[in-house]
């Protein structure tokens, strides 16, 4: 019986990868990748030449059974996402869940994820937190925001730079006006920034300064 190894990859700085992760990328039989082009660039940097097959949101259901057959045949198969830990807000969790259903052993390596450094660097309480992932683009956004309005723990969202002002505006309508938040940009990259303030402060700032890059939004819980 084969094994699926979940390998986190750097979210910015290419030095943010463990020796154990590199070893598995070198020695596995096959790598399932969210975007083969992104993964090839990483492997090229690490001087690794291994077989890569696409597993992403557009083919996940269609090839899932074939993936399970392949994993069972191989000794070890690796799953990676474009950046960070597979299975968090990406289709990797479907493959992991199917492996568990088929009694295929899973080994999940520790490694990069944007959630934890953003939370710790924000200065908000971290002993309890609620991770929401991405909000729906259209239908259901306000309902999801309403669902977190009474939470007293720190709340975490992933967000696009193109939608951050819209999201902050919707949060302002539902949550208390003086609720503090932190917009964290480009974790582990050259232009990593932390912007603190109320929703109004952050709306004003990002309306005048159009953001770029990956964003994690941290919101303090209800007092």
**Section 92-108 average pLDDT:** 94
**Section 114-135 average pLDDT:** 95
In a 3-state reduction of DSSP, which class is residue 170? helix
Residue 61 scores a pLDDT above 80: no
CB 81 within 8 A of CB 110: no
- Where does 97-174 show beta strands of DSSP type E? 106-108, 129-134, 154-159
Residue 139: pLDDT band (50, 70, 90) is: confident
Residue 108 scores a pLDDT above 70: yes
List the domains of the chain with CATH numbers. Answer: 3-108 (3.40.1010.10), 115-219 (3.30.950.10)
Residue 57 scores a pLDDT above 80: no
Q: Give 157-167 pLDDT, tens digit per residue.
A: 999 999 999 99
**Section 197-208 average pLDDT:** 97
- Nearest CA to 172 out of 185, 164, 158, 161 is that of 164
Between CA 94 and CA 65 the distance in angstroms is 11
Sign of CA dihedral 65, 67, 72, 73: positive
Whole-number average pLDDT of the chain: 93
């Amino acid at each position: 019986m084969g094994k699926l190894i979940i390998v986190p990859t750097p979210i910015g700085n290419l030095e943010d990868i463990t020796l154990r992760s590199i070893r598995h990328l070198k020695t596995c039989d096959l790598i399932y990748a969210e975007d083969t082009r992104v993964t090839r660039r990483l492997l090229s940097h690490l001087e690794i030449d291994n077989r890569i097959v696409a597993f992403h949101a557009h083919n996940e259901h269609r090839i899932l059974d074939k993936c399970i057959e392949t994993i069972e045949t191989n000794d070890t198969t690796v799953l990676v996402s474009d950046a960070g830990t597979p299975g968090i807000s990406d289709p990797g969790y479907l493959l992991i869940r199917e492996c568990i259903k088929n009694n295929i052993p899973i080994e999940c390596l520790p490694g990069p994820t944007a959630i934890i450094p953003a939370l710790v660097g924000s200065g908000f309480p971290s002993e309890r937190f609620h991770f929401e992932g991405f909000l729906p683009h259209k239908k259901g956004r306000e309902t999801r925001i309403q669902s977190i309005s009474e939470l007293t723990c720190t709340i975490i969202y992933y967000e696009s730079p193109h939608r951050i002002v819209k999201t902050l505006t919707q949060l302002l309508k539902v949550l208390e006006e003086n609720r503090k938040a932190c917009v964290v940009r480009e974790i582990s990259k050259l232009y990593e920034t932390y912007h603190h303030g109320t929703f109004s402060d952050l709306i004003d700032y990002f309306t005048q300064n159009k953001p770029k890059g990956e964003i994690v939004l941290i919101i303090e819980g209800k007092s």
